[in-house]
Structure 1
Amino acid sequence: MKHQIVTRNEWLEARKALLLQEKDFSKQRDKLSAARRELPWVAIEDEYIFDTNEGVKTLNELFGKHSQLIIYHFMIGDDWKEGCKSCSFWADNFNGIDVHLAHRDISFLAISRASLSKINSFKSRMDWDFNWVSSAPSNFNRDFNVSFDPEDIKSGNATYNYRPMTSEMDELAGVSVFTKNSNGDIFHTYSTFSRGLDLLNGAYNYIDLTPKGRNEQDLSYSMEWLRHHDRYED
């Protein structure tokens, strides 16, 4: 794209016009967030269990002292050599946010179907300190449509992002949100997948501010440029 070169005053007028669109977007996003909070809830009947570095825990125990729980479904299976590079891009934004979320009554962690030992090994390599546990002892990932058995994929019974799956991946990414009442009853309130995760990546949002933007249009797929942060050639 060839850009006009203008005076500061001309730029300011163009910027103010864009600001009106940005304000409309912010208002629409506020409305969307309010609608999200008004979604009905689904009671969780299963007592899912997870392997953690503090021993086996139930879904209830993952809340800690908070009444809200956000889970990032990180793509790594037990037969994977390393975690998904796209999930790793998102996870590079996780370190340090848990203390802020805790002060809004939120517990935050990542969950994967891989064994805890594989998770810990990759987590150490990437120098992350957020909480990350394994759902290997239960059907949690499968029930929340981020892990898929081969027979479900072949039969067409697998769904992702609220529609039949077209991918043959056995692990995919997502975020799920839960809440717990004073009686200890747990409810699923929200999940998002695919492009719904975009706003949760701070780096991508910074990239979107630049003249080149994501600059992915000529790649064979949108994130072809991406590497694990310790694998860039330079």
Structure 2
Amino acid sequence: MDRRNIVSREAWLVARKQLLAEEKALSRQRDAVSAQRRELPWVKLDKDYVLAGPDGPARLADLFAGRSQLIVYHFMFDPSWEDGCKSCSFIADNFVGGLVHLAARDVAFAVVSRAPLAKLEAFRRRMGWDFRWYSALDSDFNHDFHVSFRPEELAGGVEYNFTPGTKFPVSEAPGLSVFVRDGDDIFHTYSTYARGLDLLIGTYNYLDLTPGGRGEDGLAYAMAWVRLHDRYDPAT
């Protein structure tokens, strides 16, 4: 790594305080955007989605597990793939430890993919994850939330990240959706895709604090360096 400008402690402190002012402004802006997010209108779902889960068929309502709010991570896993997406796996590695705290705040969490349940369960065990994972193989759920694409859609351009006509290279895309349950009614309150998922990646937040940063400049794509966590060189 190239060495930066080397200065005295006093000069460093001046630069650090200048950056601190920018960081505080960013925090205030993030708080303001989060408040706007909470004020988004809701859309009542008009479908009763049924997914395949480890305990049998599960309605979307069942994923709330008695809570009023639900976060669903849309994990890229095409039925024909042997492994789940490595970038989604990178994100999923950051779920560990946080789920008990979400539950304490009336928020349920689940992961949904289109691969058959047996593949999902085998991959989950291999990765050592303990979150609930459901298959949308026989459901419109992934298609309706624009994270799975049929061949004709790929040929003509898909709707992804709220942009119709997007050229997308594969049949699956990452995303996250939020729902609220009020009695028998379920409402969609929020979805985010692409770089909107960055906030979920604790590893990125740590890397952003270092001089080397994410080290992704010059790569074929941002996460080209990422591997499934059992496929890194042991020397690393």
Same fold, TM exceeding 0.5?
Answer: yes
TM bucket, shorter chain: over 0.9
Deviates more, 1:13-22 or 1:147-156: 147-156
Matches within 5 A, 1:7-156: 7-156=8-157
Per-residue Cα deviation, 1:122-142 (whole angstroms, up to 9, x for no partner): 111111111111111210000
Local SS of the residue matching 2:23? helix
How much has 1:112 moved relative to structure 2?
Answer: 0.2
Identity of aligned residues (%): 53
Distance 2:130 2:228 in 1: 16
How much has 1:109 moved relative to structure 2?
Answer: 1.1
Deviates more, 1:216-225 or 1:112-121: 216-225
How much has 1:167 moved relative to structure 2?
Answer: 1.2
How much has 1:2 moved relative to structure 2?
Answer: 5.0
Deviates more, 1:128-137 or 1:108-117: 128-137
Matches within 5 A, 1:124-203: 124-156=125-157, 158-163=158-163, 164-181=165-182, 183-203=183-203
Kindly tell me the number of residue pairs found equivalent between the two proteins.
Answer: 232
Using structure 2 for the length normalisation, give the TM-score. Answer: 0.96
Distance 1:72 1:25 in 2: 26
Question: Where in structure 1 are there 5+ consecutive unaligned residues?
Answer: none
How much has 1:96 moved relative to structure 2?
Answer: 2.1
How much has 1:187 moved relative to structure 2?
Answer: 0.4
Structure-2 residue corresponding to 1:217:
217
Distance 1:95 1:12 in 2: 36
Contact 1:96 1:130 in 2 (8 A): no
Distance 1:221 1:187 in 2: 35
Q: How large is the RMSD of aligned CA atoms in angstroms?
A: 1.0
Q: Does 1:228 align with 2:228?
A: yes
Question: Where in structure 2 are there 5+ consecutive unaligned residues?
Answer: none
Output the amino acid matched with 1:191: S
Local SS of the residue matching 1:177? strand
